[in-house]
Structure 1
């Protein structure tokens, strides 16, 4: 607390006052951001959480501090809202496209390029947009959500690798269409709730060829994007499909999409399996670097996502438990952690965020796979 704010009992707070602190729910998610004007409905929520006192901006500092807070918080929130709108539009477009592809191989390429361009523009203007991948996903919408997520993850890697805008556009188009051939695979096989037989798996593997053939009927889509659709299941050790290519024969875009594809698949709920923690998915990809995935691209991916991805629950050497809320791309083992459980084992109500990179005495000692908050 500084001289711009005062701690006030909630019973004395009135609508129109400016909130001087973030208000979190029991899971550490921000409910109300500092800098907003309080409404009666907000007050009720604060009381329901059992909070007795909050920080309020002093009247003489209303304008300057409110504007400062809006710059810090509102703008970032606005970016994320725009990005969620872009994701929904992309998901709706790919769903409509894939559902009609069985009857009509024509793709609205102009609209497709606009969709991917919008995703790319959002990513380039917001370094923290990767956080929004942690939203809830519907199992029955998996194919369409997955296509968009793979596009986003692939572009994040491409941006990190320094690709040009045009290169990123080709990468994004190939990524968002990578599974388009699955629409030609019988649904009873695609959505089978148990292991596939060898014959069924052979049918599923043909989706890469089906997809490539569909893309080739749309002349405005580049051959590079088409190759992503065809080759995203090729592997450096030569054990992938459909052509059994080895490391040097696989286009780098296909190598990128291969990693994004597996990561999103592992961290999503499916009809036949539950998702794994992001940390476990990253560990799997890391251990498969060299055989299943390109080593250098895996390094770049881990740098982008972080050793402890956003949303991970970790224990610190202070015996506190916290939620990873941001990553450090240059020091992935030193993220920003929001403290949820104090070193006395009790839930905290006034959350603080610790930047481990700026606190050399603080370190993560373990990842907590299951924790009741």
Structure 2
């Protein structure tokens, strides 16, 4: 089939034959005029190409008008706006004034906020490493700001997790990803304010030691030597010491020290048993493993979120605490938000919400040319047939 880049797909264009996503996932019937909302859904779904056996024309031709199927209700935008309250924090003015409630605008705005969170994180980490000091209130302000977005629109914030945003270091991206996941876990576990603060601070600083590991080792394409593996593993101890140097508690620093420990005693750096690992260490271990799996690295492509969750479940009870793992999967789902899937009725769909049932999320499906929101936890007649990943 012919492939047409997303940049060439414009309103008014059309294909002479049926068009598909990823070669075999049906999108639009032949000769259907492409409209604004079609382009928006392609952008929102992260589609880079459309495929078709027919040629693509960037401008509609009148003689096909009587054959065109109008899909005016497909992916209509909600024009309501969400008004965001000011955070009253002059030190970290991270919140935008407003975010529109259509998916594309909302996600674009959140990405800009995410980048500003990254810049604040870079500043704090540099301060810890270079001056052995950090403004703790400013750190709390940042974490409170992230939490406010999670509370407002958890599903949209989750879409940012695992995004390979250009120009952003993997360490900082994974830091924010695990913080977002840690906040969601703290709410789900109904932690006290004190316990939540400790968990989120432990999550925020858990990988800071990686910044002291030589890039030549972190970005090495080949197999690491035993000596290089030991250097990388030392980031847990380095991180613990950095956090203690700026006078955070040992329980907060345990997130850095113990996030690679495993409850069966096979982890590092100290091969601790389940009883010797703090709850923060156990929680951050799950969050870090998931975030690392779905992140792009110099030596491998990211694992799809579904596979990452399945790998965690395979190790549940051996490597990870089963209670924590169950709570994590309940909030993330086997098919995380943003996943592009195929339903049992052969309709393409995108996961847009979490129903609380791991295998049955809430999806937006294209059925008979129209968008339909389906809570799969309430529909026993439809199930997820497969997941689509970019080729």
Q: CA RMSD in A?
A: 3.4
How far apart are 1:88 and its partner, in Å? Answer: 2.4
Distance 1:247 1:93 in 2: 34
> Are 2:344 and 1:320 equivalent residues in the alignment?
no
User: Taking structure 1 as reference, are residues 222 and 126 closer, same or farther at Cα in structure 2, changes over 3 Å only?
Assistant: farther
TM-score normalised by structure 1 residue count: 0.75
Distance 1:360 1:51, change over 3 A: same
Find the counterpart in structure 2 of residue 154 from structure 1: 182
Q: Does 1:54 align with 2:72?
A: yes
Alignment gaps of 5+ in structure 1: 1-9, 12-20, 32-44, 56-65
- Map 1:14-25 → 2, pairs under 5 A: 23-25=37-39
Partner of 1:35: none
Contact 1:232 1:257 in 2 (8 A): yes
Q: Matched residue of 1:103: which SS?
A: helix
- TM-score for both structures, normalised by structure 2: 0.72
Q: How many equivalent residue pairs?
A: 322
Partner of 1:23, secondary structure, is helix
Give CA deviations for 1:303-331 in whole Å, capped at 9, x if unaligned.
001122122233322222322222212x2
The equivalent of 1:367 in structure 2 is 386
Task: Work out which of the residue numbers 199, 202, 217 in structure 2 matches 1:171.
Answer: 199
1:261 Cα offset (Å): 0.7
> Shift of the alpha carbon at 1:140?
5.8
- Equivalent positions of 1:105-144 (< 5 A) are 105-128=132-155, 129-133=157-161, 135-138=163-166, 141-144=169-172
Residue 266 of structure 1, CA deviation: 0.7
Instruction: State the shift of 1:30 in Å.
Output: 5.3
Gaps of 5+ in 2: 1-10, 13-34, 46-57, 62-67, 84-98
Tell me, in whole angstroms, the C-alpha distance in 2 between the residues paired with 1:206 and 1:141. Answer: 20
For each residue in 1:226-280, what CA deviation from the matched residue of structure 2 results, as whole angstroms up to 9, or x when unmatched?
A: 1111111111011111221111211111111111111111111101110011000
Confirm or deny: 8 A CA contact 1:22 1:30 kept in the other structure: no
In structure 1, the partner of 2:313 is 286
Alignment of 1:194-343 (within 5 A): 194-219=222-247, 221-329=248-356, 331-340=357-366
Which structure carries more helix by proportion?
1
Q: Could you tell me how far apart the structure 1 residues matched to 2:37 and 2:294 are?
A: 29
Alpha-carbon displacement from aligned partner over 1:346-368 (angstroms, at most 9, x marks no partner): xx4x433322234332222x223
Residue pair 2:352, 2:363 contacting (<8 A) in 1 also: yes
